[in-house]
Amino acid sequence: MFTIEPKVTLSYSAAKDVANIIKSAAELVDELAFTVTPESFKLVALDPSKIAMLIVELPPESFRDYKVPENLTIGVSASSILSILKHIKKS
């Protein structure tokens, strides 16, 4: 048996706000790029015609829990992340 440890741990007190930002970005683009570093959490979205760009950057102090030992960039399909958001339970 083995355990997979998460690379990063993020906990944001106003998760609905983050979900709304992601939903808004998904209306503009097909893919979202998340960059997480010890200094910040960043979402960058550029529409396919390269006319509109959305950049959201949050400092670690914005989070309840922020453990990021190394830089990590993740590209995610907007439709996939919207599908995931539908299944997240409120707590």
29-77 pLDDT, tens digit per residue, is 888 999 999 999 999 988 888 888 889 999 999 999 999 999 999 999 9
Q: Which residue has the tokens 């997979």?
A: 4
How far is the first Cα of the chain from the last one, in angstroms, to the nearest whole number?
30
Q: Under DSSP, is residue 56 helix (H, G, I), strand (E, B) or coil?
A: strand
83-86: list long-range contacts, CB under 8 Å, 24+ apart.
85/19, 85/22, 85/23
pTM for the model: 0.77
Structure tokens at 89: 């339970």
